[in-house]
Structure 1
Amino acid sequence: MRLRDTLLFLGYELGKLRRNPAWPLLGLMQPILYLLLFAPLLRAITPNGTMEEALLMFTPAALVMIALFGTLFTGFGMITETRNGVLERLAVSRAWRPAIILGRVARDVLMLIVQSLIILGVAALMGLRVGLPEIVLTLVLMAATGLFAANLSYGLALAVRDENGMSQVIQFFLLPLMLLSGLMLPISLAPEWMQAVAQVNPLYHAVEAGRSLFAGNFSDPSIPIAFVVFAVLSALTLTWSVRSLRRLAG
């Protein structure tokens, strides 16, 4: 029953996405442009100054960028459905209530994986060479990152229920999260106080784990730390969004 409800909502959300595919395509443009225009600039800070080294450094960051921008703004559509009464009618139906959230999150994660594969394809054309185990583990990590961001977005949408308010909250936290994650440049190049503050930024752990995976350094402690961090955060944000949906239904 629960799985069936989740799959029904997943199919419904995929249908809406199929009718309007512009948003995921536009979401790809920023990471691709960064790969094409910014990654070559990193050659100067790599040991041998090669493009492959620059891509090994920046491609994981581009994947985290997709996980962040591709899912953190998905809650805006839920605000519209809340205002129109659509979400409230779904919440009081016989369907398993968490399936309303899980169906949307599953759609977001599937879309994220497809986008990540496209980014990896572009990076491969530019000279990136990474093994299959590294790619698979990185995709799992990106899925966990997107799961957290999507649940956070839906929980925030149900709590704020206003596009302007939600936009202001996201914009307030987005820039420091990006700068302290090492998306653009490794945090190891930053001052010591920034390196210390970055430890509490979950995106920093995702970027560091992605770079360790791409380097084939599976024993690096950043990898299990990142998976544990996002497993815990995903569970917490999912619980928050489901409880917010229950409050909406009364």
Structure 2
Amino acid sequence: MKLARDTWLVFQRQVLLMWRTPVWLVVGIVQPLFYLLLFAPLLKGALGAGSYAEAYRVYVPGLLAVLVIFGGLFSGFSLLGELKAGIVERSRVTPVSRLALLLGRAMREVVALLAQAVVITLLALPFGLTVGLLDLLLAFLLLGLLALMTSAISFGIALLVRNDAALAPVVNTAAQPIALLSGTLLPLALAPQWLRSIAEWNPFYWAVEGMRSLFSGAVGDAVVWQSITVIAPLAALAVWWSARLFAERVR
């Protein structure tokens, strides 16, 4: 109960800070919007889709995954800023749970990324995207777990490197192959077998495949539940790892 209350208190403060400077939320939507408007229409012919709606059901889940992968993995910069300003150190002298200090921040990132994902999904509707409400909610649940995992990993990396100049290349180096091996731009069903075999070791690939099935209305597909089974424990492990680093390295 104390952990939940402390997490809620930290989360409230973080959301308030985000609300006061919402410009970065808008900036986070701009690049995905360009891909939605300028790249996705090309997929009707490239994928041999029967309609634009079908093409968007394939592409939008991948676009949302890219948003979460890059947005979540770059969230460590906010923690570094608070560490440099001494905000985190001052928080540690309070009776607030140490895990809550990190978990509240991670939940802020989850809410922010899901808000951006909702906007992108709504903008895709005029282009013919159709998806059932239950399927969409399950897809956003999977996306939320993905956001929690990536933000926790980013916090952990930030605590290890403790430097803006070092964090950027580390995150970029990791995010690019992760995104490409997730089939975010094009389904990996189009790829050669050796590439598909490598991708199957990438948990983000399963998340993208699960969301694509949900956007297609195939909630009963095995890949949907496989993706949740893969991502949920990894998200918990990422939170545990970053929380342990937080307790050890923030004095």
What is the distance in 2 between the residues matched to 1:132 and 1:86? 40
SS class of match (1:31): helix
Task: Determine if contact 1:24/1:70 at 8 Å carries over to the other structure.
Answer: no
Task: Write the deviation string for residues 180-216 of structure 1: whole angstroms up to 9, x where unpaired.
Answer: 1111111011111110000111111111111111111
TM-score (norm 2): 0.95
Q: Residue 99 of structure 1 corresponds to which residue in structure 2?
A: 100
Q: Residue 192 of structure 2 corresponds to which residue in structure 1?
A: 191
User: Runs of 5+ in structure 2 lacking a partner?
Assistant: none
What is the distance in 2 between the residues matched to 1:212 and 1:219? 9
Task: Determine if contact 1:71/1:149 at 8 Å carries over to the other structure.
Answer: yes
What is the distance in 1 between the residues matched to 2:250 and 2:37? 47
Task: Determine if contact 1:71/1:108 at 8 Å carries over to the other structure.
Answer: yes
SS class of match (1:107): helix
Alignment of 1:107-186 (within 5 A): 107-186=108-187
Task: Determine if contact 1:91/1:246 at 8 Å carries over to the other structure.
Answer: no
Q: Residue 6 of structure 2 corresponds to which residue in structure 1?
A: 5
SS class of match (2:32): helix
Residue 115 of structure 1 deviates from its aligned partner by: 1.4
Alignment of 1:47-62 (within 5 A): 47-62=48-63
Q: Residue 219 of structure 2 corresponds to which residue in structure 1?
A: 218
Task: Determine if contact 1:158/1:244 at 8 Å carries over to the other structure.
Answer: yes
What is the distance in 2 between the residues matched to 1:31 and 1:142? 15
Residues 1:48 and 1:160: Cα distance change in structure 2 (over 3 Å): closer
Of 133-142 and 112-121, deviating more is 112-121
Q: Residue 238 of structure 2 corresponds to which residue in structure 1?
A: 237
What is the distance in 2 between the residues matched to 1:174 and 1:114? 21
Of 223-232 and 52-61, deviating more is 223-232
What is the distance in 2 between the residues matched to 1:35 and 1:143? 21
Root-mean-square deviation (Å): 1.4
Residues 1:183 and 1:48: Cα distance change in structure 2 (over 3 Å): closer
What is the distance in 1 between the residues matched to 2:85 and 2:33? 35
User: 1:28 corresponds to which letter in structure 2?
Assistant: I
Matched, 1:80 2:49: no
SS class of match (1:206): helix
Task: Write the deviation string for residues 162-190 of structure 1: whole angstroms up to 9, x where unpaired.
Answer: 11111111111111111111111110111
Task: Determine if contact 1:27/1:69 at 8 Å carries over to the other structure.
Answer: no
SS class of match (1:217): coil
What is the distance in 2 between the residues matched to 1:119 and 1:249? 36
User: Runs of 5+ in structure 1 lacking a partner?
Assistant: none
Task: Determine if contact 1:88/1:248 at 8 Å carries over to the other structure.
Answer: no
Q: Residue 20 of structure 2 corresponds to which residue in structure 1?
A: 19
4+ residue runs of structure 1 moved beyond 4 angstroms?
none
What is the distance in 2 between the residues matched to 1:128 and 1:240? 38
Task: Write the deviation string for residues 99-135 of structure 1: whole angstroms up to 9, x where unpaired.
Answer: 1111111111112222111111111111111111111
